């Protein structure tokens, strides 16, 4: 904990990853765990781990302001379910990490740890930056469009968006109820898996319980219908990873996502905006001046979407899920670009969620894996996509791909 606080003091002034820090509370919790361990009492699988919690997730002992002036100073009466599970396992909440406004698109003050003039992504910006800067080994995030995978990729850390509903959302800001997903960002895949296992109460998610995929690892490459929007360095990274995996024994095939999966990107946007407008109807009606212009415009757009269009988007989601399950028969995981390239210049945007949208719509688990550097020296990443409900298999395949890329497979 002292190492985490020292690192916080070194990096936070230029990083601005935290909306709130409780240094003394974290120290006290760590000392209490030390005392428990010394007395021979159980301390839990995450004993003493400093963890950042995205500031849209309720904490009873720290404010949860949702990245919005509307909720400045808000003090929840109780922890979100996921925070309570963390604490019960011995995890220590070091602080609340910066989020984009109401987990949407208007960015907070956080900077990319690799280049302060670039975005860290969003909306889980502070969580990704805090991990990448070495302040905490893991942090909680949420994803409605691309809010875990994109910042993880831009900051060069592991990001895991599990199957929709795997981690409880009680006490977490609701933006789009059929999309919002709690997930984990971390410095290592095994740490991400251990934290997720606690949050989901699933022993099969810890590395010791993983069963290896059938040899050889079977990868299906999806270049997506948005391939033309992917920057050359990100394209080259995907091809390099696929080639290296094949050279080290993986079976690599190309997959056609199908028409519904191709349409899923726009359908996700429709669902997100329509449901967001409903969830925030009171704030939009009573306090429009306290919402950013960016969010107001998106909520206005969402409110104008007719029910028939919402229904059609949900129908696309169901058909896209069927297409994906059929396309991945005989495939362990899908390999696809995580983002369209390096983190963009500037801090007035969190980047484009284009490539993450379809996977969120169909509710499947996704892992963002760092995969080298781009022409400006910033991180690049690939994404691995699993089948819905098969989170342990995805994590195991991700670990196997890491080993293959390191020449150990």
d(CA 68, CA 276): 15
Catalytic residue among 123, 125, 127, 396: 123
Decide: 223 and 262 in contact? Cβ < 8 Å.
no
Q: Where are the domains of the chain?
A: 1-258+317-409, 261-313
Per-run averaged pLDDT (10 residues), the chain, 409 residues: 98 98 97 96 96 98 97 97 98 98 97 98 98 98 98 98 98 98 98 98 95 83 97 97 94 94 98 98 95 97 98 98 96 97 98 98 98 97 98 96 72
The CA-based dihedral angle spanning residues 71, 72, 75, 81, taken in that order and rounded to the nearest 10 degrees: 60
Q: Which of 54, 68, 96, 161 is catalytic?
A: 54
Which alpha helices (DSSP H) does 280-328 contain, by range? Answer: 281-286, 293-303, 307-327
Return the pLDDT at 285. Answer: 95
pLDDT of residue 409: 42
Residue 54 annotated among the catalytic residues of the structure:
yes
Confidence (pLDDT) at 366: 99
What pLDDT does 404 receive? 80
Distance separating alpha carbons of residues 302 and 298, to the nearest angstrom = 6
Return the H-helix or E-strand segment holding 361.
helix 357-361
Give the Cα separation of 193 and 46 in Å (integer): 12
- What is each CA distance from 299 to 83, 112, 232, 290, 292, in whole angstroms? 29, 27, 34, 13, 11
pLDDT value at residue 165: 98
Q: Please give the pLDDT value at position 374.
A: 97
d(CA 94, CA 29): 10
Which of these CATH numbers, 3.40.50.720, 1.10.10.10, 3.90.1300.10, 3.30.420.40, describes 1-258+317-409? 3.90.1300.10
Spatial separation of the C-alpha atoms in residues 284 and 392, rounded to whole Å:
40
In the prediction, which pLDDT does 214 show?
A: 66
**Helices H / strands E in the chain, number of each:** 13, 11
- Alpha-helical regions (H) of 122-201: 125-132, 149-155, 189-200
Q: Distance from first CA to last CA of the chain, Å, rounded?
A: 35
- Bond before 216 cis per omega within 30 degrees: yes
The single residue listed with the structure tokens 């925030």 is 280
Instruction: Count other C-beta atoms under 10 Å from residue 202's C-beta.
Output: 17
Category of 165 on φ-ψ map: left (φ > 0), alpha (ψ -120 to 50) or beta: left
CB 342 within 8 A of CB 233: yes
Residue of 124, 125, 127, 147 marked catalytic: 147
């Amino acid at each position: 904990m002292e190492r985490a606080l020292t690192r916080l003091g070194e990096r936070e002034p230029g990083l601005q990853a935290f909306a709130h820090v409780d240094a003394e509370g974290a120290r006290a919790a760590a000392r209490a765990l030390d005392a428990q361990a010394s007395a021979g009492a159980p301390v839990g699988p995450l004993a003493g781990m400093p963890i950042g919690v995205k500031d849209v997730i309720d904490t009873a002992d720290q404010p949860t302001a949702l990245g919005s002036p509307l909720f400045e100073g808000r003090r929840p009466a109780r922890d979100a379910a996921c925070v309570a599970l963390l604490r019960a396992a011995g995890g220590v909440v070091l602080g609340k990490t910066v989020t984009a406004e109401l987990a949407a698109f208007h960015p907070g003050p956080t900077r990319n740890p690799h280049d302060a003039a670039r975005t860290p992504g969003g909306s889980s910006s502070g969580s990704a930056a805090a991990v990448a800067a070495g302040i905490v080994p893991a942090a909680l995030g949420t994803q409605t469009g691309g809010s875990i995978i994109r910042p993880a990729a831009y900051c060069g850390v592991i990001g895991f968006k599990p199957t929709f509903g795997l981690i409880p959302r009680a006490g977490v800001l609701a933006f789009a109820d059929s999309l919002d997903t709690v997930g984990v960002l971390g410095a290592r895949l095994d740490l991400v898996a251990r934290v997720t296992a606690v949050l989901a109460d699933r022993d099969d998610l810890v590395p010791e319980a993983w069963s290896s995929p059938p040899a050889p690892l079977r990868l299906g490459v999806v270049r997506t219908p948005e391939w033309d929007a992917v920057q050359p360095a990100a394209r080259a990274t995907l091809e390099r990873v696929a080639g290296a995996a094949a050279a080290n024994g993986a079976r690599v095939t190309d997959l056609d996502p199908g028409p519904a999966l191709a349409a899923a990107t726009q359908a996700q946007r429709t669902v997100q905006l329509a449901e967001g407008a409903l969830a925030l109807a009171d704030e939009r009606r009573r306090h429009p001046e306290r919402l950013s212009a960016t969010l107001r415009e998106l909520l206005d757009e969402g409110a104008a979407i007719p029910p028939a269009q919402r229904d059609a988007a949900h129908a696309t989601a169901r058909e896209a899920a069927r297409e994906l399950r059929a396309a991945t028969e005989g495939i362990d995981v899908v390999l696809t670009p995580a983002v369209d390239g390096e983190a963009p210049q500037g801090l007035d945007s969190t980047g484009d969620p284009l490539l993450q949208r379809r996977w969120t719509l169909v509710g499947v688990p996704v892992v963002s894996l760092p995969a080298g550097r781009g022409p400006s020296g910033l991180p690049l990443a690939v994404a691995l996509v699993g089948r819905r409900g098969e989170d342990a298999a995805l994590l195991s395949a991700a670990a196997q791909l890491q080993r293959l890329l390191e020449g150990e497979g």
